[in-house]
Amino acid sequence: MRFRPLHDRVMIRRVASEGRTAGGILIPDTAQEKPMEGEIVAVGPGARDETGKVVPLDVKPGDRILFGKWSGSEIKLDGEDLLIMTESDIMGIVERPAVANKKAA
């Protein structure tokens, strides 16, 4: 099934959380919180401003983002758990620096 968000809404897939603490302790599934990081799957065309002009979104499919714990609406689409939220619910884009390829001398 295909789904296209409307206006300034985005569809997000949560990123799987790590099941261990930094010290190596396993955290059971029942004690884990839902991750607040996700990957954008689809975006709407944008919101309209006061003049009626469509303002495109700052995010695009594939972006890794952070969002609030209670943001968005959970949906199930083709058996996959996804979130739908407005762009204003997104706190920021996670940018990972590109690792330079270094040749061993």
CATH topology (fold) of 9-17+34-90: 10 Kd Chaperonin, Protein Cpn10; Chain O (2.30.33)
pTM: 0.70
Is 60 exceeded by the pLDDT of residue 104? Answer: no
Given a cut of 70, is residue 58 above it in pLDDT? yes
Are 65 and 59 contacting, i.e. CB atoms less than 8 angstroms apart? yes
Report the pLDDT averaged over residues 39-54: 89
The residue among 36 and 76 whose pLDDT is bigger is 76
Domain ranges of the chain: 9-17+34-90
Give the residue from 54, 75, 57 showing the smallest Cα distance to 12. Answer: 75
**Of the candidates 54, 47, 40, the residue with the CA atom closest to the CA atom of residue 93:** 40
Instruction: Write out pLDDT tens, residues 81-95.
Output: 899 999 888 888 888
